[in-house]
Structure 1
């Protein structure tokens, strides 16, 4: 009998399933043995990754590319401020800790993953998803 998922584990499992339901996506293998990140990619290009070097079991960290809404979401309490390359290229990191209700934000996070997918995917796949 397996232990029940925490809200963060439940959220990550649901978001991974959503990401993998998009055309031609896969979960990339870790880049290094101790790599704490879990990458979703389309056509070999990453569009969402989970985790971080300082990730704890009672939190969720999700990074996505938001070319349309990166500036608009910057003030949300669960969005970490980006800098350098990430900021210039509109990558946003959402970090939910023990005090946050990550499950209440699932539709927002799925919409962000979709936007990130559309930004990274080849045109034929992006048109297919955008037409849904």
Structure 2
């Protein structure tokens, strides 16, 4: 039976793949990389991560500053901070399923930030 973290990743991946022109590619080490027209907009996983944990990385140009005090947000390197890439980490005791709507919103924001403008506009105009 999949862990809640694996269930969340499956649901978030399905949501992301429903966005126009996205695909899932292997990342580095143990990560999975979501792309729009070959530009990464989210990363799932981290090196050596346990099955009952999940790390997610998103580009959040709008809400980056607002989310820094959330208990599951980790401080990234100066590069991550400069370019507003946020890292969310959920350990074994964290209820990741309770945060699915938030994480879907972050996927959407990251997609719009990284997608070609015409694709990003499709999403923002449709409200999907």
Same fold, judged at TM 0.5 (above):
yes
Secondary structure (helix, strand or coil) at the match of 2:88 reads strand
How far has the Cα of 1:60 moved from its partner? 1.2
Match of 1:73 in 2: 67
Match of 1:95 in 2: 89
CA deviations on 1:90-120 (whole Å, 9 max, x unpaired) are: 0001000111100000000000000000000
Match of 2:24 in 1: 27
Secondary structure (helix, strand or coil) at the match of 1:131 reads helix
Match of 1:38 in 2: 32
Matched, 1:122 2:116: yes
How far has the Cα of 1:29 moved from its partner? 3.4
How far has the Cα of 1:28 moved from its partner? 1.6
Moved beyond 3 Å, runs of 4+: none
CA deviations on 1:62-100 (whole Å, 9 max, x unpaired) are: 100000011110110000012211110000010001111
Note the aligned Cα RMSD (angstroms): 1.0
How far has the Cα of 1:131 moved from its partner? 1.2
TM-score (norm 1): 0.92
Match of 1:13 in 2: 10
TM-score (norm 2): 0.95
| Unaligned segments of structure 2, at least 5 residues | none
Q: 1:131 aligns with which of 109, 125, 128?
A: 125
User: Distance in 1 between the 2:76 and 2:26 partners?
Assistant: 25
| Unaligned segments of structure 1, at least 5 residues | none
